[in-house]
Amino acid sequence: MPFPDLYRRYRGSLSAACVLSVAVALSGCGSDSSSNRSSISYNATIERTTQGIPHISADDYRGLGYGHGYAIAEDNLCVLADAYVTFRGERSRYFGADDPAAVTGTFGTPSNLEADFFFRFVVNDQQVEDFMAEQPREMRDLSDGFAVGYNRYLNEIKAGQHAGRHADCRDAEWLDEIDEKAVFRRLVALNLAASSANWVEEIVAAAPPSAPEQQRLRGNFSDGDGEIDLDPERFQLGREFGIGSNTYAFGGDYTEDGRSLNFANPHWYLEGVDRFYQMHMTLPGKLDVAGVSIMGAPMVLLGFNNNVSWSHTVSTARRFTLYRLALKDADPTTYIKDGVEQPLQEETITVQVLQEDGSLAPVSRTLYRSEYGPMINLSSLHPALAWSTSQAFTLRDVNLENTRSFKNFFAFGHAGSLDEFVAAIKQYVGIPWVNTSAIGRDNSNALYSDVTAVPNVPDSMLAGCLVPTLGPVIMQAVPGLPLLDGSRSECDWKTDGDSAAPGTFGPANLPMLLTTDYIANMNDSYWLSSPDQPLTGYAGIIGQEDYEQSLRTRMGHILVEDPALGNGGLGTGNASSETIRDLVLNSRNLSAELLKADVLPLVCPGDTADEAEACTVLTNWDNTGNLDAAGAHIWSAFWLKIRNQDELYANPFNAEDPIHTPNGLNTGNADVVAAVEAAFSEAVQEVVDSGVALNAKVRDWQKYAKTGTDIPQFGGEGYEGYFTVLRNTYMHVVDFPEGEPVRAYTMLTHAVTTDPASPYYSEATEDYSEKTWLEFPFTEEQIKQQSISITELSQ
């Protein structure tokens, strides 16, 4: 991140399926739930409580979706309506070809035209219809109701109701109704967040070479010069580091009362359609679940009911593989597999594009797919990776084939015990790109699971199927991502005896742990989710083992395991809802705890008056990012410059002590010393040039800019070793006191609404700034005590 960005006001400017779930009977697959709608009634009650959180109740799933669709449109109409334009591939029609299709989100920031071609090609009608056909009747009803509720509020806006609300879009030409298919199109798009959606531009730019290019594009990588430009960040969800989460699940051995406890801490999007929406959904006798959805998903994806609580963190498992195809001589649209010619499938797509004079003009592009999936243009990584006369590249995406994902989430909300929750994980193996932590009322176990949809590429397959030269280079830069030989069927994904779908790993070959200790995951792999019970022996495509952990991961474990540290150290048997709520917001900075005491003697008192002042400020800094801490910004600027210095630490990483190594500044290395001195001087000068005082407190310069107000934000970046990160979005601490209803404390840092005219626009963000947890009202009596408004809906 460039230094000036560090000081800007912080802002964020993710059929055969008809089976019996362990938690709820899923029936009636494939029916058209929107048919004969004139004979269908929709009824729901929306009761809003503190911070405007909607509690939606109904007598059937259609009504439940209806209430959700209306409530989320009331809170976020413009963001959702804009996103539906994106997902149906019509951005160029309304906004022109060249502007970014999104400010931020799971598919990056491609141009409108690139996004249009991607969604028309990859998330096309057939893909959506196939996905819908595999869903149970209850989910079809929920989604149909969501569309009807959304449309009701939209039409009220168009009729002039709700004066002052949604000023950005209420009169827009593109504000249009949706149907059930639009709801499922959004779900298919969300499935792809860690796979195809990372490659929008490369997929829509994939085309065979023209005749003049064919003479030039004949080489393979082994013949080429130069290095492949592989930025590991490019392969992350959302194509950037920092999109992820923290989670704890404490088993009975780590809690005061011997009962389990769950902490959720997603670091997700603060704006755009991929941000979280908090709600509570009740269908008497069938469903009573609270938590968050990602906007547009009709069910709770992360949350709790009266018997289980769960959270998610982004997993390290790869959700796609690349294949190199061997092409037929002189025919770059035909590939050879097992000696048999296979023509690529061609699809010509035409997009209407808004012109400067207001007219529309068609733009067409022919895109291609192999039996594996869409073709992909990798020439930006290296010229020898271009589509040539001899080779081309394609992508197989496990989540383009995964129709089980939201059935899996749906079953979580209905689970009556931790055993049922685990059974749902193993039955569907459908979670698309996140780890899961969970607890249950019924026992003292804590669960960690990366039993998810992963391409079945065992390590034993790589020796014969990894593309020579290029394959190892890619895996070195992006661990776990194979480039496979697409010319032989023996290199196709395998299937286990317990696989939920062909080409995926079965649950027996995926990481899972139940323990009465604690589990934690901060976006490193499964390996150290329980440091005393490391998980090992899994395929490299799932994650690494015996490797250096991030500073955020280390901080998370240190907070729990080291009572000698005093401030937040729990030790065995000390975890409680109160201690965890304090612990996770303490804003400690591990890089400063590890190295500040070694750095200051090298750089202080400094060569200038500014450096001398910086030394004084850092000496007095408490090594946190709390609002009244002074000095955090100086350390941040310094750390950004020095963190990737070779041989920075005196004591290197040791897999036998992965939580506490590496450590100590390598003051015996002259290059390290010189780099530290230079980084400090440069950092101090940049802070001075920024106009932020050297002794400024965090509250003075780190703020969430909302329309009409700037709200101070504590915490910092995970790469500095903050467990309390700036991208906190939703948080909960949940436990099950004996003989009492579920007890949950929550925070939705960005609030339920994106509309500045809403009365709920800033309240939750202000509460978060003050570290004020909301005691979530779950029972009817609790909801009544916090009730703000009640809306009865019927049509």
Q: Does the pLDDT value for residue 573 go beyond 90?
A: no
Predicted local distance difference test score (pLDDT) of residue 709: 87
Average pLDDT, the chain: 92
- Residue-wise pLDDT for 363-395, tens only, equals 999 999 999 999 999 998 888 789 999 999 999
- In degrees and rounded to multiples of 5, residue 440 shows phi and psi of -135, 155
pLDDT, average across residues 80-99 = 98
Q: What are the helix (H) ranges across 163-247?
A: 180-191, 200-204, 211-214
Q: Does the pLDDT value for residue 211 go beyond 50?
A: yes
Contacts of 732 (CB under 8 A, 6+ apart): 262, 263, 264, 291, 303, 304, 309, 311, 744, 745, 746, 747, 776
Strand partners, 25: 20
Strand partners, 321: 396
Q: Does the pLDDT value for residue 650 go beyond 50?
A: yes
Strand partners, 352: 362
- Residue-wise pLDDT for 292-310, tens only, equals 999 999 999 999 999 999 9
Q: Are 625 and 715 in contact (CB under 8 A)?
A: yes
- Residue-wise pLDDT for 123-174, tens only, equals 999 999 999 999 999 999 999 999 999 999 999 999 999 999 999 999 999 9
Distance between CA atoms of 326 and 336, rounded to whole angstroms?
Answer: 6
Contacts of 325 (CB under 8 A, 6+ apart): 335, 337, 370, 391, 392, 393, 394, 486, 487
Distance between CA atoms of 703 and 769, rounded to whole angstroms?
Answer: 9
Structure tokens at 522: 């901060």
How many angstroms separate the Cα of 89 from the Cα of each of 119, 197, 260? 5, 14, 46
How many angstroms separate the Cα of 331 from the Cα of each of 211, 324, 380, 391, 706? 11, 16, 23, 10, 55
Q: Report all structural domains of the chain as residue ranges with CATH numbers, in order of start.
A: 588-714 (1.10.1400.10)
Nearest one of 449, 189, 494, 201 to 321, comparing CA atoms: 494
What angle, 0 to 180 degrees and rounded to 10, lies between the N-to-C axes of helices 590-603 and 609-620?
Answer: 140
Percent with pLDDT over 70 in the chain? 90
- Residue-wise pLDDT for 388-438, tens only, equals 999 999 999 999 999 999 999 999 999 999 999 999 999 999 999 999 999
Burial 576-590 (b: 16+ CB within 10 A, else e): bbebbbebbbbbbbb
Contacts of 358 (CB under 8 A, 6+ apart): none
Predicted local distance difference test score (pLDDT) of residue 643: 97
Q: How far is residue 191 CA from its own chain's centroid?
A: 11
Structure tokens at 252: 């009975």
Q: Are 335 and 370 in contact (CB under 8 A)?
A: yes
Predicted local distance difference test score (pLDDT) of residue 230: 72
Predicted local distance difference test score (pLDDT) of residue 385: 86
pLDDT, average across residues 601-605 = 98
Q: Are 562 and 574 in contact (CB under 8 A)?
A: no
Among the residue ranges 351-360, 469-478, 580-589, 678-687, the one predicted with the least confidence is 469-478
- CA atoms within a 13 Å half-sphere pointing along the CA-CB vector of 101: 30
The burial class, CB within 10 Å (0-12 / 13-18 / 19+), for 756 is: middle
Contacts of 493 (CB under 8 A, 6+ apart): 321, 396, 455, 456, 457, 502, 503, 504
pLDDT, average across residues 683-712 = 95
- Residue-wise pLDDT for 499-516, tens only, equals 999 999 999 999 999 999
Q: Does the pLDDT value for residue 264 go beyond 90?
A: yes
pLDDT, average across residues 565-585 = 77
- Residue-wise pLDDT for 5-28, tens only, equals 333 322 222 232 332 233 333 444
**Structure confidence at residue 227 as a pLDDT band (50, 70, 90):** low
Percent with pLDDT over 90 in the chain? 85
Predicted local distance difference test score (pLDDT) of residue 369: 98
- Residue-wise pLDDT for 325-371, tens only, equals 999 998 999 999 999 999 999 999 999 999 999 999 999 999 999 99
Predicted local distance difference test score (pLDDT) of residue 223: 42
The burial class, CB within 10 Å (0-12 / 13-18 / 19+), for 690 is: middle
